[in-house]
Amino acid sequence: MNKLWINASIEVLEGKDIQQARDALNNLAIETRKEPGNHKFSLLQQQDKPENFTLWECWDNDNALQQHLAAAHTKTYLAQAWTKLIYIQRLQIIEPKITGAAT
């Protein structure tokens, strides 16, 4: 079964400090990486727009993602209202199928 990959773009809310938001996101990432069902949680900051971040996540399945969204550390981060969601993509990896050696 394919894992669930998430690509999400978020932006620091106007009036919020970018460095403080980044620190809060780092804390979220540290706790999220400890969750069962999580394989990757990477935080990337745009170089030309430092108020914009991308989250790359990999989960066992949608259930693992839903447990993450219900986790205390996720709720705490969201309650602080540092960022807003720009978009989210739910993805799966397409592995090439090797059909046999050439003769």
- What pLDDT, in 10s, does the model give residues 31-80? 999 999 999 999 999 999 999 999 999 999 999 999 999 999 999 999 99
Domain-located, residue 41 = yes
pLDDT at residue 21, rounded to an integer: 98
Model confidence, pTM: 0.86
Q: What percent of the chain has pLDDT over 70?
A: 96
Structural domain of residue 43, as residue ranges?
Answer: 4-91
Q: Distances in Å between the alpha carbon of 42 and those of 11, 47, 53, 75?
A: 16, 16, 10, 18
Query: Where does the pLDDT of residue 99 fall: very low under 50, low under 70, confident under 90, or very high at 90 and above?
Result: confident
Domain-located, residue 99 = no
Domain-located, residue 14 = yes
